[in-house]
Chains A and B, each alone.
Chain A
């Protein structure tokens, strides 16, 4: 199965910018890169998707270099409510099946 690698945890403080990087093993030419956010005791939610360069929405920005072997999720000016686990699942297998690893546990401190 296609796998991704990301840091297990990160700490930050309110108001700072947080960048979480994911390495994408075996990414194929037509694969998109996606990120999900999960709060405790809730299901994950999709937050952003990109193919190359930069994508920005109301939640985050996603930076993807030309070789597409990695991606960086950028959260501007985090608040306590951004404390969550962030996942960059591998590209879908048969049946749009995603492989979620352990994610990155972001702790935002006051």
Chain B
């Protein structure tokens, strides 16, 4: 089955700790994205990557970091500098080609920091 996997589904951390969220895709997509969603709100873009070893900041990149060492993987690290890290985090991928607007989303990781 092709798709995007995110793990874990639920994650709990203490304040001040860095935490890394996993995102893997086997769709052979070039582009990958990380979004944050707060309760009752829409999606906000954190980082995106159009190709391996390249990524750009989205609207709310402060306090987050990413890497793209492999086409299939785009992990997101939530650092202790992120002031309000508790949220639902969604990873997505697309072919990245113009005219194809479909993004495929993973199931999400709900992060709770106390």
Contacts and interface: CB of A to CB of B under 8 A. Distances in A.
Interface of A: 30, 32, 34, 41-46, 49, 87, 89, 91-92, 94-103
B105 interface: yes
11 contacts: A43-B4, A43-B90, A89-B101, A95-B50, A96-B97, A96-B100, A97-B33, A100-B42, A101-B42, A102-B42, A103-B42
A96 B96 contact: yes
A94 B54 CA distance: 13
A44 B4 CA distance: 12
B105 A44 contact: yes
Contacts of B105: 43-45
What bracket does the count of chain B residues touching chain A fall in? 20 to 34
A100 B110 CA distance: 19
A42 B107 contact: yes
A32 B99 contact: yes
B106 to A, nearest CB: 5
Contacts of A49: 101-102
Residue from A32, A44, A102 whose CB has the most chain B CB atoms within 10 Å: A44
A87 B106 CA distance: 17
Contacts of A45: 105
Nearest to B42: A102
